[in-house]
Structure 1
Amino acid sequence: MENTKPWVKPALEFGPLILFFAVFMLYRNDTVAIAGQAYGGFILATLAFIPALILTTAIQWRITGKLAPMQVATLVLVIVFGGMSIWLNDPRFFKLKPTIIYLLFAVILGTGLALRRNWLGAVLSEALPMDAEGWRKLTLRMAIFFVVLAGANELVWRTMTDSTWVWFKTFGLPVLLFAFLLGNAKLYRDHALPTPKSSDDDRAL
């Protein structure tokens, strides 16, 4: 997305989630009849979210020519669990989706550690160049973090209201992820790869 405007990437990434939040807040106390079936605000929001995510994912693929494995996995799980929630008119399946996603990511990262494969670095090394030890530490921390997020999602959706879960999903989870990434700033610095000197600097020396 090098040649696109700076706002395009965050709009594509967060647009479907904001749409989900907006539709839910608009219809949270109402029901709407579709094809003879009454749907509450949560299901209506899910019904808006799925095509929006498909569209933004397709746009990202069109712009960049590629999709990260996590994007593909997320899209598939959203379609499956979101579709089940709509089909059965039951919000629980869609609420379970983040738990499945986070546990899947944790298993993938844990498997990479066990096999001594730097799968996280293969995806992020261009944006965050670090040595092998740095990637090992970050992979372990991120795997544990995803397990914690899965547990937090289970706690919220099983014990609290739909509104609380929607706020947690829309704002709480992104804030936790941002805090995690920020909290590892020292790791990034300690294991950053040295910046190669330019040819002009070499000649000056």
Structure 2
Amino acid sequence: MDKTQPHPLFKLATELGPLLVFFVANAKFHLFVATGAFMVAVVAAMVASYVVTRHVPLMALVSGTIVIVFGTLTLVLHDETFIKVKPTIIYGLFAAILGGGLLFGRSFIAILFDQMFNLTPPGWRILTRRWALFFLGLAVLNEIIWRTQSTDFWVAFKAFGVIPLTMVFAVTQMPLIKRFHLEPASLEASEAAEGDVSKG
């Protein structure tokens, strides 16, 4: 089924909206209410994405599933540890997917981010390695913050820290993408579009 390319503001809203709901609910009530609201908002964002684009990005699908599982554990067991460790699991999983793919000569960046890059094989390797290390760094940072800081500080970081950090990191990768960019008409580009980093 063909998917409609969403407006950048719509994509940002579906990513940032649930986090804002989480932040506001925690500020007005407490973490457990915020967790329930966050779960509802995440599901609503995925439904909205499917209605508008007839497609749910893989990253959103994986993240949403983990949110539901760990959010449910948080509410059922009344233990906030589960929702706090959830980002660590997500970032660690993304790092493992990207790093593991490299071991087999594959790059899953285009699939993970639901967009297409046309890069040379060396470009794929470098970009994938950088994103894998970035996600690993986010996992470590989340562990440090939730274990050493207050719940309110952790929620604020989750809502207003992670996305800006990710956007800044993505922007810093643009010179690399331009340097290793391939025109889509070439055979090499077709291989690169599939994320094959075993050549070159």
Give the TM-score band, short-chain normalised.
0.7 to 0.9
Match of 1:117 in 2: 106
Query: Over aligned residue pairs, what C-alpha RMSD do you find?
Result: 2.0
The answer to whether the 8 A contact 1:121-1:135 is kept is no
Aligned ranges for residues 75-94 of structure 1 at < 5 Å?
Answer: 75-94=64-83
CA deviation string 1:80-108 (max 9, x = no partner):
11111111222111000000001111111
Q: CA deviation at 1:172?
A: 1.1
Query: Are 1:188 and 2:200 matched, yes or no?
Result: no
Name stretches of at least 5 consecutive residues in structure 2 with no aligned partner.
186-200
Query: Are 1:12 and 2:14 matched, yes or no?
Result: yes
Alpha-carbon separation, structure 1, partners of 2:128 and 2:27: 36
Aligned ranges for residues 122-141 of structure 1 at < 5 Å?
Answer: 122=111, 126-141=115-130
Tell me which of 148, 152, 176 is aligned to 2:141: 152
Alpha-carbon separation, structure 2, partners of 1:195 and 1:9: 25
Alpha-carbon separation, structure 1, partners of 2:114 and 2:45: 24
More displaced 10-residue stretch of structure 1: 3-12 or 163-172: 3-12
Name stretches of at least 5 consecutive residues in structure 1 with no aligned partner.
28-40, 197-205
Query: Are 1:72 and 2:74 matched, yes or no?
Result: no
Matching residue's letter, 1:55: A
Could you say what secondary structure the match of 1:128 adopts?
coil
Alpha-carbon separation, structure 2, partners of 1:78 and 1:124: 18
CA deviation string 1:5-40 (max 9, x = no partner):
65332222211111111111122xxxxxxxxxxxxx
Alpha-carbon separation, structure 1, partners of 2:108 and 2:34: 34
- Count, aligned residues: 183
Match of 1:31 in 2: none
Q: What TM-score do the two structures reach when normalised by structure 1?
A: 0.81
Tell me which of 34, 50, 57 is aligned to 1:45: 34
The answer to whether the 8 A contact 2:123-2:177 is kept is yes
The answer to whether the 8 A contact 2:99-2:132 is kept is yes
Query: Are 1:55 and 2:44 matched, yes or no?
Result: yes
Evaluate the alpha carbon distance shift between residue 125 and residue 84 of structure 1 in structure 2; reply closer, same or farther with a 3 A threshold. Answer: closer
Q: CA deviation at 1:122?
A: 4.3
Indicate the percent of aligned positions where both proteins have the same amino acid: 36
Alpha-carbon separation, structure 2, partners of 1:124 and 1:45: 27
Evaluate the alpha carbon distance shift between residue 72 and residue 157 of structure 1 in structure 2; reply closer, same or farther with a 3 A threshold. Answer: same
Tell me which of 10, 24, 27 is aligned to 2:26: 24
Q: CA deviation at 1:4?
A: 6.1
More displaced 10-residue stretch of structure 1: 68-77 or 187-196: 187-196
Q: What TM-score do the two structures reach when normalised by structure 2?
A: 0.83
Evaluate the alpha carbon distance shift between residue 133 and residue 10 of structure 1 in structure 2; reply closer, same or farther with a 3 A threshold. Answer: same
Q: CA deviation at 1:116?
A: 0.6
Q: CA deviation at 1:64?
A: 2.1
Q: CA deviation at 1:121?
A: 3.1
Alpha-carbon separation, structure 1, partners of 2:56 and 2:15: 12
The answer to whether the 8 A contact 2:95-2:133 is kept is yes
